[in-house]
Amino acid sequence: MMLRRWMAAGLVAVATAGALGAVPATANRPHDPTDRSLRALALRHKLHIGTAVDMAALTDPADPRYRELVREEFSSVTAENEMKWESLEPTRGNYDWGPADAFVAAARRNDQRVRGHVLVWQNQVPKWLTDGVADGSIGTAELREILRHHITTVVSRYRGRIWQWDVVNEAVSDPWDTPSTLHYKGFWAEHLGPGYIADAFRWARAADPGALLFYNDYNIEAFGSGNPADDKTQFVHDMARDLLAQGVPIDGVGSQGHLGTQYGNYDPIQVADALHRFARLGLATAFTEVDVRSRLTDGVQAGDPEEINPRLQASAANFHALLQGCLAEPRCLSFTVWGFTDRHSWVPGWFDDPPEGLATIYDEDYRPKRAYHLIKADLVYAGPPYVLPRVAPKPRR
Ligand code: 9MR
């Protein structure tokens, strides 16, 4: 998958620093004013700071620091891969719940909320399913029934234990796809038509009345032209509006936030504006997969500080823009990073020509980077009137 990005028109960034300490303690556990972890500082705003969790790292006896930081710094977790369909049902009818159960149990021990990721996506679908459709042994009616069964089975198993479900992920094309006019893309739209989206939300709701149900996508951090034919944020906004008008139980839109320092990206006001526009539809929002990668030039790889420092600063500035935008919108419920350390990040494995990396808030040796300190400062120096406690919607029926 290519996560390309275009230059965003710059607005003047305005700091949202407000009265310090004016927001009451809102943690699940008693508020400790000496606790300077991201999770404690964010809960002053009823915001949950989350991370994607790599279960191999979490269970590696040789990597205790990974476990410590997951526990200490984050109040929400997302399984990076373990709740995806190919992991849960590698062969037809045989669910392997082990890793996903272990993940949910660890979250409970750590007093963390869980973002369930993901019910319907065109990637990481089991091979038995795509092969069956390709060779004609699974027809349209059966495919729809298989999808209903999968959603019902997974959501029922974790009923009451998932805070936000990513029900549908990355259903919308990008301007560089063919045709370039934005459209519903991928396996499910091709075989079931776009109606699968409304179906998926209804089936998920039937299986868990209490979870917040999200649509999740990338490249929707800010609005562009306003034309849904080429502005993906507008397309997703209009999709959510239409789903709501049809009575579909969608509660939120997740903006992934996969950015790169080589692109123009966004400022906090643009980001807040986009989140406000989703909130005006009555939806919650969340940043769900934030990371900000950089080109690993020869100079970066050789350790040249003149090449490394500007990238670390630019990465920090982008984390900061997304977090400030989120803080400014009370219906932005959580801010999740897609891995917190360069030691375990999907980026170098995916972007290798040219190589990219340095995408997270801790380096490979678990030293907090500029980005960590900047988002911590954002959480500390925020309060009324620009930053108010989060308001969580009731799950829609
Ligand atoms: O980080 C995930 C990586 O380990 C997997 O190999 C990859 C496979 O598709 O998926 C990555 O996570 C993706 C997430 O589930 C959805 N949004 C994009 C993420 C990065 O590709």
Q: Tell me the pLDDT tens digit for each residue of 250-285.
A: 999 999 999 999 998 899 999 999 999 999 999 999
Does residue 284 sit within a domain? yes
Domain residues for the domain of 135 are 37-381
Mutate to test the pocket of ligand 1, among 215, 338, 340, 350 (most ligand atoms within 8 A of CB): 338
Angle between helices 232-245 and 268-280 (to 10 degrees): 20
Question: So what's the pLDDT on residue 30?
Answer: 52
Does residue 388 sit within a domain? no
Active site residue 89: no
Q: How far is the CA of 335 from the centre of ligand 1 (A)?
A: 17
Q: How many structural domains does the chain have?
A: 1
Residue nearest to atom 20 of ligand 1 (CA): 346
- Cα–Cα dist 100/82, whole Å: 5
Does residue 393 sit within a domain? no
The number of helix segments (H) and strand segments (E) in the chain equals 15, 10
Tell which atom from ligand 1 comes closest to the C-alpha of 218. Answer: 17
Residue nearest to atom 1 of ligand 1 (CA): 346
Please count the other Cβ atoms lying within 10 Å of the Cβ belonging to residue 141.
Answer: 9
Q: Which helix (H) or strand (E) holds 253?
A: strand 252-255
Q: How far is the CA of 80 from the centre of ligand 1 (A)?
A: 7
Omega prior to 118 cis, within 30 of 0: yes
Tell which atom from ligand 1 comes closest to the C-alpha of 54. Answer: 4
Mutate to test the pocket of ligand 1, among 78, 81, 82, 121 (most ligand atoms within 8 A of CB): 81
Residue nearest to atom 14 of ligand 1 (CA): 80
Tell which atom from ligand 1 comes closest to the C-alpha of 338. Answer: 1
Q: How far is the CA of 155 from the centre of ligand 1 (A)?
A: 20
Does residue 31 sit within a domain? no
Q: How far is the CA of 384 from the centre of ligand 1 (A)?
A: 36
Q: How far is the CA of 325 from the centre of ligand 1 (A)?
A: 24
Instruction: Decide: helix, strand or coil at residue 394.
Output: coil
Q: How far is the CA of 35 from the centre of ligand 1 (A)?
A: 32
pLDDT tens sequence for the chain (397 residues): 444 333 332 222 222 222 333 333 344 455 567 889 999 999 999 999 999 999 999 999 999 999 999 999 999 999 999 999 999 999 999 999 999 999 999 999 999 999 999 999 999 999 999 999 999 999 999 999 999 999 999 999 999 999 999 999 999 999 999 999 999 999 999 999 999 999 999 999 999 999 999 999 999 999 999 999 999 999 999 999 999 999 999 999 999 999 999 998 899 999 999 999 999 999 999 999 999 999 999 999 999 999 999 999 999 999 999 999 999 999 999 999 999 999 999 999 999 999 999 999 999 999 999 999 999 999 999 999 999 999 999 999 9
Question: So what's the pLDDT on residue 8?
Answer: 31
Does residue 1 sit within a domain? no
Residues 6+ apart with CB under 8 A from 22: 383, 384
CATH number, domain containing residue 266: 3.20.20.80
Angle between helices 195-207 and 232-245 (to 10 degrees): 60
- Dihedral in degrees, nearest 10, Cα atoms 371, 375, 376, 378: 140
Report the alpha-carbon angle 316-321-322, nearest 5.
105
Tell which atom from ligand 1 comes closest to the C-alpha of 1. Answer: 21
- Identify the residues whose C-beta falls under 6 Å from ligand 1: 1, 80-81, 123-124, 169, 256, 289, 346
Please count the other Cβ atoms lying within 10 Å of the Cβ belonging to residue 395.
Answer: 16
Nearest CA to 8 among 322, 237, 313? 322
Q: How far is the CA of 113 from the centre of ligand 1 (A)?
A: 20
Tell which atom from ligand 1 comes closest to the C-alpha of 256. Answer: 17
Residue of 170, 221, 329, 356 with catalytic role:
170
Does residue 151 sit within a domain? yes
Q: How far is the CA of 13 from the centre of ligand 1 (A)?
A: 31
Question: So what's the pLDDT on residue 63?
Answer: 98
Active site residue 289: yes
Residue of 80, 89, 289, 329 with catalytic role:
289
Does residue 16 sit within a domain? no
Does residue 301 sit within a domain? yes
Mutate to test the pocket of ligand 1, among 87, 165, 289 (most ligand atoms within 8 A of CB): 289
pLDDT in tens, 38-51: 999 999 999 999 99
Tell which atom from ligand 1 comes closest to the C-alpha of 169. Answer: 16
